[in-house]
């Protein structure tokens, strides 16, 4: 069963076409990568999937429902979470508070309840705190819950962002260059974590990543785009040996 279907997605900014006629399907509980050279349109496609950009043309279906016109917070509530290429944390809040902020879409209390704090509000706050700690434990930094986010090493700040995304209780997790800035040991741990997210939590994963070693290890399917257009799709082995992919990354040999 497809959890995500992208049909003829096109995104234009004036005369610039960032994404052009992109189509692919992502099966439920799969791990898939969207790759391509710098400037290929990968993050623009992610921004369309998560409501940050509105597609010029095309259809995006999540669990059979169109989300092309939905706002980001609505898409998150429907079950799509994302991380960003650059870490975006509340640096002066604790690690736990950062993760708790990810659960605001699952909170039912309004402003009045937050002020009066009836028993239902207190119970919900307790649940949010508990789930957030479980997410931190899942990514391996529950022991750092009470530290300020700004005081963590870069790799742990990345983990806070992943935990916050998991706290939204997604069905589909979009990771935008999760290995950026990580050392080799941290990248190996990331591969294990992505597999754990799918295998233990049953969450489908779609990632953008430049580290081809990581992509080849973790991906069951790869979609390659160049200048906004899909040029290849398939298994890691098939994509790795595709002449159009090799040309996109390495350039075409000058025959003159």
**CA dist., res. 135 & res. 168, Å (int):** 10
Dump strand ranges (E) for the chain: 2-13, 16-27, 31-35, 57-62, 65-66, 80-82, 172-176, 204-208, 221-226, 229-234
Q: How confident is the model at residue 111 (pLDDT cuts 50, 70, 90)?
A: very low
Angle at 79 between CA 199 and CA 201, to 5 degrees: 15
pTM: 0.88
Please state the domain extents for the chain: 1-79+170-256, 88-169
- 88-169 — its CATH code? 3.40.50.300
pLDDT in tens, 144-201: 999 999 999 999 999 999 999 999 999 999 999 999 999 999 999 999 999 999 999 9
pLDDT tens digits along 204-255: 999 999 899 999 999 999 999 999 999 999 999 999 889 999 888 876 554 4
Number of continuous H segments (helices) and E segments (strands) in the chain: 10, 10
- Where do the DSSP E strands lie in 172-228? 172-176, 204-208, 221-226
Report the Cα 41 to chain-centroid distance in Å. 15
**3-state SS, residue 253:** coil
Q: Is the pLDDT of residue 137 over 80?
A: yes
- Return mean pLDDT, the chain: 90
Ramachandran angles phi, psi of 241, nearest 5°: -100, 10
Residue 43 reports pLDDT greater than 80: yes
CA within 13 Å, CB half, 3: 21
| Distance in angstroms (rounded) separating the CA atoms of residues 167 and 165 | 5
Check if 1-79+170-256 and 88-169 are the same fold: yes
Q: Which fold has domain 1-79+170-256?
A: Rossmann fold (3.40.50)
| Residue 26 · residue 64 · CB < 8 Å | no
């Amino acid at each position: 069963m497809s959890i995500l279907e992208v049909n003829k997605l096109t995104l234009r900014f004036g005369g610039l076409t960032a994404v052009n006629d992109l189509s692919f399907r992502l099966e439920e509980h799969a791990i898939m990568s969207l790759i391509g050279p710098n400037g290929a349109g990968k993050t623009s496609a992610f921004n369309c999937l998560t409501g940050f950009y509105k597609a010029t043309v095309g259809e995006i279906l999540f669990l059979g429902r169109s989300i092309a016109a939905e706002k980001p917070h609505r898409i998150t509530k429907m079950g799509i979470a994302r991380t960003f290429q650059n870490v975006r944390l509340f640096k002066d809040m604790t690690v736990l508070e950062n993760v708790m902020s990810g659960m605001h879409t699952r909170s039912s209390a309004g402003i009045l309840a937050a002020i009066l704090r009836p028993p239902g509000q207190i119970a919900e706050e307790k649940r949010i705190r508990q789930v957030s700690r479980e997410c931190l434990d899942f990514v391996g930094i529950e022991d750092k819950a009470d530290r300020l986010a700004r005081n963590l090493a870069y790799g742990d700040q990345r983990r806070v962002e992943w935990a916050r995304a998991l706290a939204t209780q997604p069905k589909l997790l979009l990771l935008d260059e999760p290995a950026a800035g990580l050392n080799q040991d941290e990248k190996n741990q990331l591969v294990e974590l992505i597999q754990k997210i799918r295998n233990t939590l049953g969450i489908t994963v779609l990632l953008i990543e430049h580290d081809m070693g990581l992509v080849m290890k973790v991906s069951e399917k790869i979609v390659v785009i160049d200048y906004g257009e899909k040029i290849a799709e398939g298994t890691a082995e098939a994509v790795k040996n595709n002449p159009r992919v090799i040309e996109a990354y390495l350039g075409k040999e000058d025959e003159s």
